[in-house]
């Protein structure tokens, strides 16, 4: 494949940067060395940067030769609290931390594109390269928004990209609208009446109430959500009791709710509330329910998805742009930026499964995952092509 970034010597440089970042992973909002490293590479190429948004965020700005529109391109920078089990030379040297989601590769591709476009700025307008902290649950995108990213750096549209194991190296997937789901945390607190385990008739056992609630919740998606809509309700944490001969006073259930459409999400929450209150009441207990929003759904603007698909096709060929991939019920904090601006978020193939494939097929968040260096020039070239197409 003859990509733009391959024609220069960028590929080799990007591999070096990527391995450095992989070796030094940092968790959400603590990407200090990562941010310093990215800033120093940008500054060594005379690229203007703004630091400090959302603690460690960087906005790098490259102006074209002529005036025009302004767009934002975003990469995430943070790693995960995972012990890496890979055994290559650049494996993590930070115990218990690992780039298991490929954000080392995302930052590197954006860095490569920024440097290429600084040296080849035959375009009209301005590009803000957004290096965002804390994608992995910290909501760095939300914090950047709250700290005024689009007031300080107004953008007509904003674009994101994530690697995707299971999609072949050299392919992209572009969704016309929904890409990733909204994500909320469910908290259910059941209040019963504790006592001696040998005298259950004198107690209101919250554990039995909780078991009934968990069972009943299985019907919410199966029986209340229209078959062609999507939602997930998973109870993932169950906490009650301290000893075998005591019926506890209360029980906590925690879980995860996923959906694409707000209307579906609202309906599901209403049903959960009814079940929690109804089951508890019928068994003499009381209960509270709350759903705490984490990330909204990542929904592309169709016209921008089309612009992204066209740029990807110019890099890898129309046949290698998948347009009918299913969205996933996973979530992504780029959704905060997409809620505040038009734009689109696409997937770049990291390599086909099997999971133990040495290149790119290992699942995200796995202890053996690694970003595929072969796709660095493909992703950087996509960013460059996107800029050249939009800011002609
Ligand atoms: Zn991740
Ligand atoms: Zn990720």
Two tokens, residue 147: 């700290």
Least confident of 20-29, 127-136, 347-356: 347-356
What pLDDT is attached to residue 360? 78
Query: Could you tell me the distance, in angstroms and rounded to a whole number, from the CA of residue 58 to the centre of ligand 1?
Result: 20
Mean pLDDT in residue range 82-109: 97
Same domain, residue pair 70 and 143 = yes
Two tokens, residue 319: 């046949």
Query: Could you tell me the distance, in angstroms and rounded to a whole number, from the CA of residue 101 to the centre of ligand 1?
Result: 4
Query: Could you tell me the distance, in angstroms and rounded to a whole number, from the CA of residue 222 to the centre of ligand 1?
Result: 28
Same domain, residue pair 291 and 303 = no
Separation of alpha carbons 335 and 184, rounded Å: 13
What pLDDT is attached to residue 2? 55
Mean pLDDT in residue range 31-35: 98
What pLDDT is attached to residue 9? 84
Q: For residue 298, which ligand has an atom nearest its CA?
A: 2
Query: Could you tell me the distance, in angstroms and rounded to a whole number, from the CA of residue 280 to the centre of ligand 1?
Result: 36
What pLDDT is attached to residue 354? 66
Query: Could you tell me the distance, in angstroms and rounded to a whole number, from the CA of residue 298 to the centre of ligand 1?
Result: 14
- State yes or no: pLDDT of 342 exceeds 80: yes
3 state SS of 177: coil
252 in Cβ contact with 206 (< 8 Å): no
Q: What is the mean pLDDT of the chain?
A: 96
Instruction: State how many domains the chain has.
Output: 2
Q: Which long-range contacts (CB under 8 A, 24 or more apart) does 281-285 make?
A: 283/204, 283/208, 283/209, 283/212, 284/192, 284/204, 285/190, 285/191, 285/192, 285/193, 285/204, 285/206, 285/209
Pick the last residue of a domain from 295, 330, 364.
295
Same domain, residue pair 137 and 11 = yes
Same domain, residue pair 174 and 311 = yes
User: What's the pLDDT band for 358 if we cut at 50, 70, 90?
Assistant: low
Same domain, residue pair 317 and 291 = no
Cβ within 8 Å of residue 297, ≥6 positions away: 178, 180, 181, 182, 259, 260, 261, 331, 335
Q: Give the domain CATH number at 362.
A: 3.40.630.10
Give tens-digit pLDDT for 154-213: 999 999 999 999 999 999 999 999 999 999 999 999 999 999 999 999 999 999 999 999
Who wins on pLDDT, 383 or 5? 383
Q: Give the domain CATH number at 246.
A: 3.30.70.360
What pLDDT is attached to residue 5? 64
Query: Could you tell me the distance, in angstroms and rounded to a whole number, from the CA of residue 136 to the centre of ligand 1?
Result: 6
Q: For residue 334, which ligand has an atom nearest its CA?
A: 2
User: What's the pLDDT band for 141 if we cut at 50, 70, 90?
Assistant: very high
Least confident of 151-165, 347-361, 371-385: 347-361
Q: Please name every residue paired with 231 in a beta bridge, in sequence order, or none if there are none.
A: 259
User: What's the pLDDT band for 361 if we cut at 50, 70, 90?
Assistant: confident
Query: Could you tell me the distance, in angstroms and rounded to a whole number, from the CA of residue 269 to the centre of ligand 2?
Result: 27
Same domain, residue pair 333 and 288 = no
Q: Can you give the residue range of the structural domain that contains 96?
A: 4-178+299-390
What pLDDT is attached to residue 138? 87
Query: Could you tell me the distance, in angstroms and rounded to a whole number, from the CA of residue 331 to the centre of ligand 1?
Result: 9
Same domain, residue pair 173 and 42 = yes
Query: Could you tell me the distance, in angstroms and rounded to a whole number, from the CA of residue 101 to the centre of ligand 2?
Result: 4
Pick the last residue of a domain from 295, 322, 355.
295
Alpha helices in 188-241 (DSSP H): 206-224
Query: Could you tell me the distance, in angstroms and rounded to a whole number, from the CA of residue 14 to the centre of ligand 1?
Result: 21
Same domain, residue pair 191 and 340 = no
User: What's the pLDDT band for 7 if we cut at 50, 70, 90?
Assistant: low
Same domain, residue pair 150 and 41 = yes
Same domain, residue pair 58 and 18 = yes
What is the pTM assigned to this prediction?
Answer: 0.92
Pick the last residue of a domain from 295, 318, 333.
295
Q: For residue 163, which ligand has an atom nearest its CA?
A: 2
Give tens-digit pLDDT for 290-302: 999 999 999 999 9
Query: Could you tell me the distance, in angstroms and rounded to a whole number, from the CA of residue 330 to the centre of ligand 2?
Result: 10
Query: Could you tell me the distance, in angstroms and rounded to a whole number, from the CA of residue 162 to the centre of ligand 2?
Result: 6
Q: For residue 137, which ligand has an atom nearest its CA?
A: 1
Give tens-digit pLDDT for 209-259: 999 999 999 999 999 999 999 999 999 999 999 999 999 999 999 999 999
Task: Say what percent of the chain tops pLDDT 70.
Answer: 97
Query: Could you tell me the distance, in angstroms and rounded to a whole number, from the CA of residue 364 to the centre of ligand 1?
Result: 7
Query: Could you tell me the distance, in angstroms and rounded to a whole number, from the CA of residue 268 to the centre of ligand 2?
Result: 27
Q: For residue 365, which ligand has an atom nearest its CA?
A: 1
Same domain, residue pair 248 and 265 = yes
């Amino acid at each position: 494949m003859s990509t733009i970034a391959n024609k220069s010597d960028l590929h080799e440089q990007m591999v070096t940067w990527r391995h450095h970042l992989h070796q030094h992973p940092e968790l959400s909002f603590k990407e200090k060395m990562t941010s310093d490293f990215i800033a120093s590479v940008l500054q060594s190429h005379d690229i203007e940067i703004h630091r400090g948004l959302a603690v460690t965020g960087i906005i790098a700005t490259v102006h074209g030769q002529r005036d025009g529109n302004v767009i934002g391109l975003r990469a995430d920078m943070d790693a995960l609290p995972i012990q890496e089990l890979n055994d290559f030379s650049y494996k993590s040297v930070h115990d218990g931390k690992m780039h298991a989601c490929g954000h080392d590769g995302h930052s590197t591709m954006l860095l490569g594109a920024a440097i290429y476009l600084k040296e080849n700025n035959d375009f009209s307008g301005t590009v803000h390269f957004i290096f965002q902290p804390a994608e992995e649950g910290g909501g760095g995108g939300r914090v950047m928004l709250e700290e005024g990213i689009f007031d300080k750096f107004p953008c007509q549209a904003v674009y994101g990209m994530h690697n995707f194991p299971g999609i072949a190296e050299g392919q992209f997937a572009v969704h016309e609208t929904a890409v990733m789901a909204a994500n909320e945390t469910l908290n259910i607190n059941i209040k019963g009446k504790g006592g001696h385990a040998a005298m259950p008739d004198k107690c209101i056992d919250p554990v039995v109430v909780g078991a009934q609630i968990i069972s009943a919740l299985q019907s919410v998606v199966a029986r209340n959500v229209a078959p062609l809509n999507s939602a997930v309700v998973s109870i993932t944490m169950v906490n009650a009791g301290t000893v075998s001969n005591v019926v506890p006073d209360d029980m906590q259930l925690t879980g995860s709710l996923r959906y694409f459409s707000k209307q579906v999400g609202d309906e599901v929450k209403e049903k959960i509330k009814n079940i929690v209150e109804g089951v508890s009441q019928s068994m003499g207990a009381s209960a509270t329910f709350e759903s705490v929003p984490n990330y909204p759904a990542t929904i592309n603007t169709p016209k921008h998805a089309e612009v992204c698909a066209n740029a990807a096709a110019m890099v890898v060929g129309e046949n290698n742009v998948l347009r009918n991939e299913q969205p996933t019920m996973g979530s992504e904090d780029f959704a905060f930026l997409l809620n505040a601006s038009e734009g689109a978020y696409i997937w770049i193939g990291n390599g086909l499964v099997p999971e133990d494939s040495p290149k790119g097929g290992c699942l995200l968040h796995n202890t053996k995952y690694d970003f595929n260096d072969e796709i660095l020039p493909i992703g950087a070239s996509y960013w460059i092509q996107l800029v050249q197409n939009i800011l002609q």
